[in-house]
Chain A
């Protein structure tokens, strides 16, 4: 049994490392606190005429122990904040789009994920975009490329969760959020919705299918060859843009 699902993204390892770092701090704090809590229960039991010490705790020589602990906590908090800061910026800000990157759209609706491929021109939001709206379909992406996606929602709030890439982002109706991931290992990975969105919330599952660049090229070529934008999907695109 491993704690986390297999990590397949470039930044996933940073998040896992952050977990272990915080766990070290938390474990140390837990052990010390538990000792401080339980030791006096053994040591200072009533009985044998024992009378408690009169300590109000207002004096510096007593209170300093609390202060030390608080300073230690504050310091470890800021260490965590410092360590995580770069990772946060890395995940939350979208890199500049270069030629090798893949640009796709993901539209959430009750209760499915619609994937939008940019079409032969490679640019989203043009008339040759292809919408794939099928239950349990896969978002095809090439491995080792930055996949930059525009996340939108048609109706209520959903949340795009790709556990293997350690990525989660809410899809709010009326907003377009840009995020990215870069998957390093070919495979089929679950996409789930983590924001309760109605009766079939638990069936709102699709996949990311990470392929070699050749396979991906083959997939998009056949997709674009077969597809003029379907009328249903085009209508869906209109409602989301409103």
Chain B
């Protein structure tokens, strides 16, 4: 609190700030920069797939080693350095204190450290491209023994092994997980302890609930992987044999540790975005969120089930066939709570008075695309069909249809929605609509046809398909080219967004406090919120979604309006 009394230096205000809003913004900017890096990698390897053997503009020739590394690091970046910071950390840091009526996070210094550890992890990751041998190229799942250099050399040279792409990647991931753990502790303590007067559990907005459930899932699934990552690192640099079958170890151990975290991680990424939908849909349909309490129960159920489904990534890995049935049933069961949440979101629209503003378009687009992603999950959750579809482009298209709407549509929906809060200004809406429609069309252009490539038996992570008679034939090569052209279009479209943001930031403030006429607490504060957020601090009298109350004069009743 001292900060408000003294004039802050540039460093303490923008760089080593402990203010939750600055830290949230830092996370967001860092995530967007990393999305640029990940997008560039995707551009390079997609170009190579469409036009094999051609020199790639802005890169050059792409060899198989670099191709593998690019595919691997693209996946890593998009999950750990874009999805996690943007969805969990940026939203969580920026929104939790504002939405529960608090001045800041519970542990601001820990929060700041969390960001800087994250920043270091990103640097370590980027550095791994420039060490001898280049970045790791064994898939983002890092299956040993391929990722455990010790299998080649039982007595590795410590420094040479430490400064290899593999070790740096493990280190970067470990640092990133530590940063997120620190953030997670902060979310939980803040939400439990720092709520405004009257903000009881059943009045907390869904997004805050979901961010906390995501933090809990994360904390309880990541521990074994942290231990496993240490073991992998030691296999690399010291030559231990934790994952080396010739020395008593077992590579399957890593598969279990990785997916025990890796699958819940999907829900860690999904829940914050669903929270964004839960905020946006009621505002733009002027109607209370459908089945608020049930949604929370469903999310809690899915959190519980999320640690029981991991081995559906290992149906063909050589696990006991009887075990697969158990995990197939688990996978089916976990689809129920998420389907329930999506249905409740759709039900929110029925009977509303819908305003088709830009954030709403992104939200609807999210649900539409996720529908494809979710339903194609039915095919892969079936262990029998997975025998065929595993590690093909069907899987690639499936998870891009879930993760792309989740990360990017979720992010853009949130960004267009909260930008007035964040800056006090409005984004240009016709540019926003162009941005939406082009992104939507190009995204489908990239991935829809790839489902067919996958069904034709095209397997993943192959830089050159010429060896395979089945899939180097037409029309699959044409599909690859369409996908690549659309991918380039998709990336170029994002410049509309950047231009829009830059242009809007230079406008004068609108001075409108609550442009969307929303009920949650963050709109009670000034836009942008000052240090300390609220003055005076709000008291909460009602739930988060009181829209169109029959006896109210206007169609929204903010949470801090006393009950009549």
Contact = CB atoms under 8 A, between A and B. Distances in A.
A and B touch in their complex, CB below 8 angstroms: yes
Interface of A: 1, 3-5, 14-15, 18-19, 22-23, 25-26, 29-30, 33-34, 36-37, 40-41, 44-47, 50-58, 62-63, 65-66, 69-70, 73-74, 77-78, 80-81, 84-85, 87-89, 91-93, 155-157, 159, 161, 163-164, 166-170, 172-175, 177, 190, 192-203, 205, 242
B178 interface: no
Contact of B324 (A22, A51, A88, A169): A88
A161 B458 CA distance: 11
Given A1-B475, A81-B325, 8 more contacts: A3-B456, A51-B548, A84-B384, A92-B324, A170-B316, A170-B318, A195-B143, A196-B461
A78 to B, nearest CB: 7
B296 to A, nearest CB: 12
Interface string B544-561: 000111100001000000
A30 B372 contact: yes
A202 B384 contact: no
Nearest to A207: B469
B120 interface: no
B336 to A, nearest CB: 6
B288 A81 contact: no
Interface bracket on B: 35 or more
B240 to A, nearest CB: 16
6 contacts: A22-B378, A66-B347, A84-B383, A163-B457, A170-B317, A172-B251
A78 B382 contact: no
Contact of A52 (B287, B385, B460): B287
Q: Which 3 A-B pairs have the closest CB atoms?
A: A174-B245, A163-B457, A57-B290
Contact of B146 (A22, A62, A65, A157): A157
Contact of B291 (A50, A66, A93, A190): A66
A22 B380 CA distance: 10
Interface centre among B68, B146, B246 (most CB of A within 10 A): B146
B288 A57 contact: yes
Given A44-B351, A87-B384, A199-B64, A192 B290 contact: no
A19 B382 CA distance: 10
B382 A18 contact: yes
B350 interface: yes
Nearest to A176: B318
Interface in B465-484: 465, 467-470, 475
B292 interface: yes
A180 to B, nearest CB: 13
A69 B343 contact: yes
A194 B390 contact: yes
Contact of B375 (A29, A173, A202): A29
Nearest to B331: A77
Interface of B: 64-65, 68, 71-72, 137-139, 143-146, 151, 245-246, 250-252, 285-294, 316-318, 321, 324-325, 328-329, 332, 335-336, 339-340, 342-344, 346-356, 364, 367-368, 371-372, 375-376, 378-379, 382-385, 387-388, 390-392, 452, 455-457, 459-465, 467-470, 475, 547-550, 555
Contact of A194 (B285, B324, B375, B460): B460
Contact of B390 (A78, A87, A157, A168): A168
A52 B353 contact: yes
Contacts of B294: 57-58, 63, 66
Contact of A62 (B290, B349, B390, B469): B290
Contacts of A167: 387-388
Given A3-B456, A30-B371, A159-B316, A202 B321 contact: no
Given A84-B384, A88-B383, A202-B64, A37 B364 contact: yes
A53 B139 CA distance: 50
Nearest to A77: B332
A84 B378 CA distance: 12
Contacts, number: 273
B351 A190 contact: no
A200 B371 CA distance: 37
Contacts of A201: 64, 68, 461-462
A77 B335 CA distance: 9
Given A26-B379, A88-B324, A168-B391, A54 B343 contact: no
Contacts of A200: 64
Nearest to B383: A88
A56 to B, nearest CB: 5
B307 to A, nearest CB: 20
Contacts of A195: 139, 143, 391
Contacts of A194: 390-392, 459-460
Given A1-B475, A55-B351, A81-B329, A157 B385 contact: no
B364 A41 contact: yes
A241 to B, nearest CB: 11
A60 to B, nearest CB: 11
A132 to B, nearest CB: 19
Contact of B354 (A44, A199, A203, A205): A44
Given A157-B145, A170-B316, A45 B356 contact: yes
Nearest to B342: A33
B329 A40 contact: no
Interface centre among B143, B316, B455 (most CB of A within 10 A): B316
Given A78-B332, A88-B384, A155 B151 contact: yes
Given A195-B143, A202-B64, A4 B336 contact: no
Contact of A92 (B68, B321, B351): B321
Given A3-B455, A44-B352, A194-B459, A52 B469 contact: no
B339 A54 contact: no
Nearest to A30: B375
B339 A15 contact: no
Given A22-B385, A44-B350, A58 B292 contact: yes
B332 A202 contact: no
Contacts of B367: 37
Nearest to A71: B336
Nearest to A15: B388
Interface centre among A1, A19, A26, A170 (most CB of B within 10 A): A170
Nearest to A162: B457
Contacts of B288: 54-57
B336 A70 contact: yes
Contacts of A46: 286, 353-355
Contacts of A54: 287-288, 547-550
Nearest to A46: B353
Contacts of A193: 459
Contacts of A81: 325, 328-329, 332, 382
Contact of B325 (A53, A88, A169): A88
Nearest to B249: A174
Contacts of A190: 468-470
Nearest to B458: A163
B318 A44 contact: no
B53 to A, nearest CB: 13
Given A40-B352, A51-B353, A52-B286, A196 B68 contact: yes
A197 B151 CA distance: 13
A44 B245 CA distance: 62
A57 to B, nearest CB: 3
Contact of B252 (A22, A23, A172, A198): A172
